[in-house]
Amino acid sequence: MARLTDLPPAQAKRLAEAECPNFDMRPWVTGPALSRRRVAIVSSAGLFVRGEVPFRGRDADYRAIPSETQPDQLLTSHISVNFDRTGLQEDWNVVFPLDRLKELAGEGTVGSVAATHYSFMGASDPLEMEPHARQLASRLKNDRVDTVILAPV
Amino acid sequence: MGALGHYLEEEGIATVGISLIRPQTENTKPPRALWVPFELGRPFGPPADPGFQRRVLLAALRLLEHERGPVIIEDFPGDDPRAQPHSAWQPPVSATAAAKDARALAEGLEDGISRLEDSHRGWVEQNHRTTVGLSGLKISEAARYVAEWVRGKSPPSPREGYSAPLLMRFAVDDLKAFCLEAAAAGTARPSSRQLGDWFWEESAIGAALHALRERCLASEDERVKLIAGNFIVPAARVRITN
């Protein structure tokens, strides 16, 4: 329904040229072979587990999604209405590829899957997300995660 | 998303991101990104296609094996086969968008939801899940609540801790999810455009939501105006009215 080229020109331009923090540093973390990495998914789809607190407006914090979460427990409260949701409705792996990640770990392509995954709400201010992202890094390290796949919508 | 990658890398965690908007990724310059040509909302490609999703995920993870960087932005070599319309799909039988006045539009919304209940049950049996549930209301309650807004009222929120405008937005999201899931029940695999065309251009529920947007844009409550202007009807579906 909405590739960037399908949106009204003004909306497409706003998205393409969205203001982003200007970072002076260019961090670059390397690591072991993929087969030895522990991987977490961090989504910006405003995902949350049914029964937990949804994102309201442009909340800049995140929600935790345990690895044992079942597809019927995952909801989204993303504020934007300008991306397709029918893919997620049919198959959560379109947005949150936990089944695929578990398959890659099961066959040894990836070392292991994190105990918990996370979601932000991507329309939030990146500067307001920063303290939450840095706090999330501590949680990831406590779970021995060394690699994150970032999944937007 | 690029900013999140930057923060996590600074804290010592390697990241690789999917990019749906290449110019944005070029601006933020994350350490590693795989650009995909899919529609917004489908970063890993088509639903119910594990092989395709696996190729996307693996292509992204393989970027972690590059020894030189940053910045790495690669393009995924393939498009979403489900983006094409499915000729066998038929829109569900439901009330059509003929009503014009607020009362009739509200009734059409409630009736339309009621008519889709069997189809939605079929969807849940088929897929073992639903994404309806954001408002915490039963779907008939969500329909009744939104219908009140369509009628021109400003009903109080039935849920403690949720303002009325926020609950209206959540209930609208539930109605959309309910209708689109119901419309996709069955063996045909409609594209998102087919589903959107039916919902926003033909269905009574879509007609009521267009009217709700117009009505709320005239509100004196700035929160209601904000929600109406941005969070009910997709920008690509907004009707230009004089």
Query: What is the ipTM for the molecules in this complex?
Result: 0.94
Q: Write out residues in chain B with pLDDT < 70, as ranges.
A: 94-99, 241-242
- Residue A100 is assigned to a structural domain of this protein: yes
Find the helix packing angle between B164-183 and B222-230, rounded to 10°. 20
| Within a domain: A17 | no
Cβ <8 Å between B42 and A94: yes
Min CA distance, B177 vs chain A (Å)? 8
pLDDT at A76: 97
A26 within a domain of the structure (yes/no): no
What is the C-alpha to C-alpha distance for residues B228 and A62, in angstroms, rounded to an integer? 25
pLDDT along chain A (153 residues), means of 10: 68 69 83 97 98 93 98 96 96 98 98 98 89 98 98 95
pLDDT tens for B100-111 read: 799 999 999 999
B12 φ/ψ angles, rounded to the nearest 5 degrees: 100, 15
Looking at residue A26, its pLDDT comes to: 84
Q: Which secondary-structure segment (H or E) carries A63?
A: strand A63-66
Give the minimum alpha-carbon distance from B9 to chain A in angstroms, rounded to a whole number: 6
Is A15 a member of any domain?
Answer: no
Q: Residue B105: what pLDDT? A: 95
How many angstroms away from the CA of A71 is the closest CA of chain B?
A: 7
Does residue A102 sit within a domain? Answer: yes
In a domain? residue A73? yes
User: B57, B63, B71: which to substitute to probe chain A, counting the most A Cβ within 10 Å?
Assistant: B57
Residue listed under structure tokens 């954001």: B134
CB–CB contact A150 B131 (8 Å):
no
Question: Does A88 sit within 8 Å of B24, measured CB to CB?
Answer: no
Give the separation between CA A61 and CA A129, rounded to whole angstroms.
6
Residue A98 domain-assigned (yes or no)? yes
Predicted confidence at residue B35, as pLDDT, reads: 96
Query: Is B15 within 8 Å of B9 (Cβ atoms)?
Result: yes
If one counts the domains in chain A, the total is: 1
Give the residue from B141, B127, B109 showing the smallest Cα distance to B232: B109
Q: Mind telling me how many Å the CA of B33 is from chain A's nearest CA?
A: 9
Query: CA B67, B73, B79, B83 torsion: positive or negative?
Result: positive
Look at strands A74-76 and A47-49 and give their pairing.
antiparallel
Show the domain range for A102.
Answer: 35-151
Angle ∠(A47,A48,A49) on CA atoms, nearest 5: 135
Q: Do A151 and B13 touch (CB under 8 A)?
A: no
Burial (CB count <10 Å: 0-12, 13-18, 19+), residue B6: buried
Given an 8 Å threshold on Cβ–Cβ distance, is A149 in contact with B19?
A: no
Would you kindly state where each structural domain of chain B is located, as residue ranges? 2-83, 102-237
Instruction: Give dist(CA B26, CA B6) in Å, integer.
Output: 13
Residue B187 neighbours by CB distance under 10 Å:
8
Among A3, A56, A57, beta carbon nearest to B40? A3
What is the chain A residue with the closest CA to B181? A89
Identity of the residue in A29, A136, A149 whose CB atom sits nearest the CB atom of B61: A149
CB B18 within 8 A of CB A151: yes
